[in-house]
Amino acid sequence: MQTNNQTDKSRRWLLNTTLALTLLLVSVVNGWPVPAQAKLIEDLYSAEVKVSSQAGQQRQQAIKQAFDQVVIKLTGRSELVEHSAIKQAKSQVSDYLVQYGYQNTDQRLTLKATFDGRKLRELLADNELPYWGSRRPQLLLWIAREDEDGSRELISSGDESIFSQQLRFLTTQAGVPMQWPLLDLTDNMIISPTDVWGRFLQPIREASERYASDGIVVAKIASIENPEQPEKNWRLDWYVEIDSLRLSNEVYAESQDWLAEPFVTQVQQQLAQAYSVVRTEQQEIVTLPIIVQQLSDWRAVLELESFLKSIASVQSVRLQQYSVEQSEFVIEVRGNVDHLLQSIQLDGRLISQEIGPFVDPQQQQAATYKWDSE
């Protein structure tokens, strides 16, 4: 009987999972809006480095290179690998190393190293260095490319140019989640290369609604004649929009194939500056009470607590009172609460609720949210 119950549960889980995936696919295909959530970077404390052999000396060098990559991923600032505290930690990198392994793909040997996240966060906090957490905005890429003959096209998810391959690899390495549009019939009815080239945001925003993204990247790639500076023969202008956040800049390269690296570096640096926090022991601990509605069971409570604790500025989360209708939490935040509120808005599962004029005065002092994990 126990086996039959377990089989029934497995079948129900498979049916529900299949149904959810089917609905998601139908939503994308038909152009229905898909709710966005900030992307959870699973390999935040890992990095992959190309090696030519598994020799001991080369392994140690590759592990240190991977350590540098993780520091840049966590801070968004490449110059911090020269910080005295970071260099000291790297000299004792085995204290931070959790595991390493080799992968051989398409005759390309790489070493992947994973480091202790708690120790790295402590290292950054102890030295008042910025930390960008694991929940990061998912960006939708609208890139128009102009060929040497003057024709323009949008780059789709199926593009296999060197630029696109580099961009996929580098965004993963940098912890900057980006996705490409399908550029199917639905997209082509709304948006054109001219819209992206001219940065006409209304059709771009409209075309983006069907995708589960937190923001958009609008960019154009063009060839420019620059005989005095051949390293600037190609230019990429970019613009990022995430809620009220606006970022923009431009990068240059000798070939369009090599525009991806400076582009990703710039976007990573500016996003990290906007979303990272600096934790110090001198910062004041701020207590923030919140009320959350529609936590249907304890699994939802644990899911909510796990999300809140993943926010870099959150010191602790305490459940004060639970009921299905509404639950009360107390959140301790180190420093300004703006980073917490920004993270809540970016994640999208805690939805702010209007407070009526006739509620208990004590409840009026607490922000009220509805939990929507679907």
pLDDT tens per residue, range 146-186 = 987 788 999 998 999 999 999 999 999 999 999 999 999 99
- 347: tokens are 């994640």
Whether the pLDDT of residue 370 is over 70: the answer is: yes
Q: Is 57 a domain residue? A: yes
Residues 144, 271: one domain? Answer: yes
Side-chain half-sphere CA neighbours of 1 within 13 A: 0
Q: Is 87 a domain residue? A: yes
Average pLDDT over residues 244-268: 95
Residues 210, 266: one domain? Answer: yes
pLDDT digits (tens, 9 = 90+) for 198-229: 999 999 999 999 998 999 999 999 998 777 88
| Owning domain of residue 150 | 137-276
pLDDT attached to residue 346:
81
Q: How far is CA 145 from CA 220, 232, 259, in A?
A: 6, 16, 12
Contact 131, 277 (CB under 8 A): yes
Distance, CA of 206 to CA of 201 (rounded, Å):
8
More confident residue, 372 or 191: 191
Proportion of the chain above pLDDT 90, given as a percent: 60
Q: First CA to last CA across the chain, in angstroms? A: 32
Whether the pLDDT of residue 72 is over 70: the answer is: yes
- Measured at the CA of 219, the angle between CA 218 and CA 222, to 5 degrees, comes to 160
Residues 261, 293: one domain? Answer: no
Proportion of the chain above pLDDT 70, given as a percent: 86
pLDDT attached to residue 281:
62
Whether the pLDDT of residue 331 is over 50: the answer is: yes
Residues 325, 270: one domain? Answer: no
Average pLDDT over residues 354-373: 64
CATH code, domain with 360 = 3.30.70
* Last residue of one domain, picked from the residues 114, 131, 148: 131
Whether the pLDDT of residue 342 is over 50: the answer is: yes
The candidate with the shortest Cα–Cα distance to 165, out of 157, 177, 154, is 157
Q: Is 32 a domain residue? A: no
Residues 125, 234: one domain? Answer: no
Residues 303, 339: one domain? Answer: yes
Q: Average model confidence (pLDDT) for the chain?
A: 85
More confident residue, 39 or 41: 41
Q: Is 152 a domain residue? A: yes
Contact 120, 96 (CB under 8 A): yes
Residues 231, 308: one domain? Answer: no
Number of domains in the chain: 4
Whether the pLDDT of residue 4 is over 70: the answer is: no
Q: How far is CA 58 from CA 66, 71, 83, in A?
A: 12, 20, 23
- CA torsion 217→165→114→271, rounded to 10°? -20
* Last residue of one domain, picked from the residues 232, 257, 276: 276
pLDDT attached to residue 204:
97
Contact 197, 290 (CB under 8 A): no
pLDDT band at 40 (very low <50, low <70, confident <90, very high): confident
Q: Is 37 a domain residue? A: no
